[in-house]
Structure formats: C-alpha cells, structure tokens
C-alpha cells in the first residue's frame, strides 16, 4: 500500500482530531489508515506506512480492538495478525457513542445516583447543592433514556431525521 499526499493529510488530520476527542494521536492515525486501506494490514505495514514505533502500533491496535473499531483477522498462508477497520461511518459512530456511554456516562450516572441518595439524609449539604445534584442526575437519566431510544432507531430513519434538521424544531413548535 502506498499513501498518497491526500491520504497522508487525512491520516495526519485524523490524528490531530483524535487528540481533541481525547484519543491518542497514534491510535487515531492507525484507525484512519485502516479505514482508508483497501485490504487488511499487518502491524509491520502500519509501522512502515506511519513511521510509528512497533510497540506503539501494538498498543494502539489493542485499544482500537477494545473500542471495537478494528478487528484482527488471519489471512490464508500468512501467520501474522492483520487488522481492518469498520467501513461504515454510521457503524463507527454508534460504536464510539456506545463505548463512551459505557466508559463515561454510566459511571457518572452511578456516582450521581449514589450522591443524591446519600445527600437525602445528609444534614450538612446545603439544600441548593442537593437540588443541583438531583437536576444533574435527572438530566443524565433523560439523556441516557434518549440515547437508548435512538440506538434502536433503524439507520435509514436516523438519516432521514438528520436530513430534516431544523424542520423538526419548526414542526414541534407548532
């Protein structure tokens, strides 16, 4: 595989964006490379194409597999592990959203529920602080409920919903 200048630009930018999203630059670059690749790549090819240390590639591939954005496979006649990225952007989005919910939102919601329950009988915590915790817990529960509903909406319906954009707001305002 040969990276064209535009492919290199894409991979480098994806790495920069990854950092803004809280993802290691190398992880994001490897994901971008595997997404663009026309075939599964092995770790040595990734090292050569991106100029990243072998240990970093290995760690990054494990992280991408943990996120379920990349899968490992074996090719006939080749003992090395090969890797390919999900190719459907919608599938990638839903995978990332589900992973972030599981890693970030769920533990936060669990903590909020525990804090609210503890604060109920707490005579020291000010009433306005308790109310703020309840409001945040309610918001997070509402957001989680909305996500769980939207997760089950078929992709064509979601696409249509997105294409309607502000028209939905205008319709609901009537």
Task: Report the DSSP pairing between strands 81-85 and 70-74.
Answer: antiparallel
Structural tokens at position 57: 């590639």
34 neighbors 28 (Cβ within 8 angstroms): no
The DSSP string of the chain is ----HHHHHHHHHHHHHHHHTT--HHHHHHHHHHHH-SS-EEHHHHHHHHT--HHHHHHHHHHHHHTTSEEEEE-TT--SEEEEE---HHHHHHHHHHHHIIIIIHHHHHHHHHHHHHHHT-SSS-HHHHHHHHHHHHHHHHHHHHHHHHHTS-HHHHHHHHHHTHHHHHHHH-
Q: List pLDDT tens digits, range 19-39.
A: 999 999 999 999 999 999 999
Chain Cα centroid distance, residue 161 = 21
Query: Mean per-residue pLDDT for 74-79?
Result: 94
- Residue 172, pLDDT > 90, answer no
Is the predicted pLDDT of residue 171 greater than 90, yes or no? no
Quick: pLDDT tens for 30-71.
Answer: 999 999 999 999 999 999 999 999 999 999 999 999 999 999
Residues 95-120 have pLDDT tens digits of 999 999 999 999 999 999 999 999 99
């Amino acid at each position: 595989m040969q990276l064209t200048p535009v492919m290199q630009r894409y991979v480098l930018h994806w790495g920069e964006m990854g950092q803004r999203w809280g993802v290691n630059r190398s992880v994001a670059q490897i994901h971008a490379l595997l997404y663009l690749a026309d075939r599964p790549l092995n770790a040595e090819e990734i090292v050569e194409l991106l100029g990243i240390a072998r240990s970093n590639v290995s760690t990054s591939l494990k992280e991408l597999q943990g996120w379920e954005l990349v899968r490992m496979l074996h090719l006939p006649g080749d003992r090395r592990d090969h890797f390919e990225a999900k190719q459907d952007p919608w599938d990638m989005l839903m995978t990332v959203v589900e992973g972030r919910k599981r890693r970030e939102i769920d533990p936060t919601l669990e903590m909020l529920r525990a804090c609210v329950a503890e604060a109920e009988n707490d005579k020291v915590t000010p009433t306005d602080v308790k109310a703020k915790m309840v409001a945040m817990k309610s918001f997070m529960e509402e957001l989680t409920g909305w996500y769980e509903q939207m997760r089950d909406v078929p992709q064509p319906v979601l696409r249509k919903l997105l294409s309607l954009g502000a028209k939905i707001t205008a319709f609901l305002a009537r």
